[in-house]
Amino acid sequence: MNMSAVKPRDSRADDFQEMSLRVEAILPAIEAAAEESENLNRLADSTYGLLKDAGLYSMLMPKELGGAELPHVDAMRLGERIAWAHGSAGWCVVVNNGVGGVLSILLPDDGAQDVFAHGPNTMVAGNGVPRGYARAVENGYMIRGHWAYGSGIHHADWIHSGCFLTDDAGNVLKLPDGKPKIVVTHHPRATVELKGNWDVLGLRATGSFDYTLKGAEELFVPERFCYDFSVATAKRGGKQSTLGLVGYTAWGHTTWGLGVGRRMLDELKSLASKRIDAFGKMNEGATFKYEFARAEARFRSARAFAYQAWNSVAETFARNEEASLEQIADIKLALRHVHDVISDVGTFAHRAARGASLHNGVMQRVYRDIHSGTQHILMADEIVQECGRVYLGAVGPNAKWDVFGVNG
């Protein structure tokens, strides 16, 4: 592939330790700008610049395109820290590595060359879950629709929009198993308008606005900027790219959950060391000490499960093998389990704080963020049921995971 137009990143970006130092160096500034970002309902420009300059938006992108191409486990450790500092900043980082990372491995060569013409720090945002419609035309698709949850879209260069594939009469086409055909399309930021409606409980600074097409009912998107939601195969990026949309999205939300969950417990610990009320010093109460220890155990166990699952996948890739159906079930289940645990831990911390998290501050923000992140469609019970089906051996010999379940 001729990517002469792409500006390769400094080789230090490939070094996990070097990137770790960069992350730790920018955490105070990200925290300092969190309130500004919350008030803007999107990331402050300064925060966006810090994350981009540190290579965090492109840490999973292939080296062939100038990205760091870190193993998922290493990238998870970095993403955790950003989410710890500010949940919305962490969310935007993992979203771009999810949708942008998948774009970088799935687009055909000519499409990738255009999208990443200015290097790997190309922000991609939008919603790949189908909310629009696409009809095939010569060399591409005509798309229309109204999409939601475009996290990070204010700073985006390209928009990622999932569409149901239709015939010319508007009828949704079906796969052999009866599921709808879905195509994920990508188009420049200038082609959409934002609805400015991100007035929400938590994750306020993600700027996850609804959006629609600007100035036209339909938009032509060349085929080279699209991939099939179900069957697209990686064009670049090494063995780990075989996880595709199924794995990259699970990685992103797991990473984020670990970061905000850890922050909630850290904030409660800090409060408990200082707070004295009618019943004495908070961190000396027998019941509180017992419940805090149990919360730590639940969180650390969930984190250990997540890293065990992802390390197992990494070891498989190191042997130049592909992840098994059960390994993917593990990362899917770990994703949901982490969110169940941080929801419980967050609620415990909120109640134990006895009013402290009612006030505007870090605890309140993290509590709101946690209970917003659990609303994502990837936390659906139906996906956990599919994990159970895999563990029970109730799948066919040619079964394969897609984003929402197992085919076969």
- Residue among 144, 53, 402, 300 nearest 45 (CA): 53
pTM (two decimals): 0.94
Q: How would residue 276 be classed by pLDDT, with cut points 50, 70 and 90?
A: confident
pLDDT for the residue numbered 232? 72
* Residue carrying the six token digits 């085919």: 407
Is 70 exceeded by the pLDDT of residue 2?
A: no
**What are 320-358's pLDDT values in tens digits?**
999 999 999 999 999 999 999 999 999 999 999 999 999
| Two tokens, residue 336 | 């949901």
Strands 158-166 and 182-188: antiparallel
pLDDT at 6: 45
Residue 247's pLDDT is 96
Q: What is the predicted pLDDT for the residue at 374? A: 97
Which has the minimum average pLDDT: 33-47, 74-88, 275-289, 366-380?
275-289
Tokens of 274: 């200082």
pLDDT band at 229 (very low <50, low <70, confident <90, very high): confident
For 181, which DSSP code?
P
Distance CA 29, CA 49 (A): 11
Tokens of 148: 């939601």
Asked if the model's pLDDT at residue 13 lies above 70, the reply is no
Q: Which domains does the chain have, with CATH numbers?
A: 11-115 (1.10.540.10), 124-228 (2.40.110.10), 239-407 (1.20.140.10)
Phi, psi for residue 124 in degrees, rounded to 5: -120, 130
